[in-house]
Structure formats: C-alpha cells, structure tokens
Amino acid sequence: SQQGEEDPQALSIQEGENATMNCSYKTSINNLQWYRQNSGRGLVHLILIRSNEREKHSGRLRVTLDTSKKSSSLLITASRAADTASYFCATDMDSNYQLIWGAGTKLIIKP
C-alpha cells in the first residue's frame, strides 16, 4: 500500500518556469523525503525534511511541510530540461524501517 499521493500526476511546463508538486500522506511521520527518478540516473535522493521543520531549501529546490494538513510541497525554480523526471515523496514512521512512497508526479520540461 502507498501512503503518499502526489499531485498533480503529470505536469508539463516551459523551461525557466517554476514547477510545484504536492504530496499528501495519511499517518504521522518522522521525516518526509523527495526523490527524483529518470531513466538515466535511477532514483536519486533530493531532500529530507523532518517532522519538526516547516521549510527547507537546497539549490533550486524548496520543500515545505505542513504536518497539520499532512502535506508537503516541492518547488523547483527556474526549471531546466534536465529536471524532466518523475518526482516521489516518501515518508517514514518511528515504528518500522519502511519508507512509504507515493505514486509520483511526472514532470516534463519543454525547451
């Protein structure tokens, strides 16, 4: 079973625009992570935000976490063609060793 749901399922934007993806989850979490997956590089960790954090930045990435709404967003600024990929959120809970993943948002950056 998958805990997270990404929204939208697919997103197509022009290069240079910002892309925002959302993730909702069902149970209390320790941490939430965002990953990128493309055919060239497989699954790559992007950023981790802890349950007591509200916002985190890494380069062109900005992640927010709202534990009251059980949701997170990933913003990619000034998108590039190389950002074309599927983006997944994954959550972990204190009680086990599992990462629970959403179904992903497929992002296409048009040149």
Partner 1 sequence: GAGVSQSPRYKVAKRGQDVALRCDPISGHVSLFWYQQALGQGPEFLTYFQNEAQLDKSGLPSDRFFAERPEGSVSTLKIQRTQQEDSAVYLCASSLGGRGPGADTQYFGPGTRLTVL
Give contact residues for partner 1 (rule: CB under 8 A).
1-2, 4, 30-31, 33, 42-45, 48, 88, 90, 92, 96-104
Angle among Cα 27, 18, 5 to the nearest 5 degrees reads 20
CB of 67 to partner 1, least distance (A): 14
- Give the contacts of 39 (CB within 8 A, at least 6 positions apart): none
CB of 44 to partner 1, least distance (A): 7
Closest CA to 43 of 110, 99, 111, 109: 99
CB of 16 to partner 1, least distance (A): 28
Cβ-based nearer residue to partner 1, 14 or 95 = 95
Cβ-based nearer residue to partner 1, 4 or 83 = 4
**Is the Cβ–Cβ distance between 5 and 103 less than 8 Å?**
yes
